[in-house]
Amino acid sequence: MQRRILPLSEQDTPGLLQALARVPDPRDAGGRVHPLPGLLAIAIAAVVSGSSRVVETVKWAADLPDAAWDRLGANPRRVHRCPAGA
């Protein structure tokens, strides 16, 4: 499967993140590394781009440019990478 990275435009990001901010975050506050709206936006964009498995979504997210992570309020250096061949 060829993965595509669709641009996450600055115009689209605020509206999407505002909508996703209404989703309750069930995670323990002490274990949160990235904001839930940003994680959900990444997952949605990955699926729209053709990812159908969690490992594909993680690999897709790892290929995002730092600017996209910044717009989502997340830090790409805090992402746990998948092992090669996973």
Percent of the chain at pLDDT exceeding 70: 70
Burial label, 43 (beta-carbon count in 10 A; 0-12, 13-18, 19+): middle
pLDDT, one tens digit per residue, over 3-29 is 565 555 666 666 888 889 899 999 888
- Per-residue model confidence (pLDDT) at position 13: 63
Q: Which residue has the tokens 């904001």?
A: 35
Q: Is the pLDDT of residue 47 over 60?
A: yes
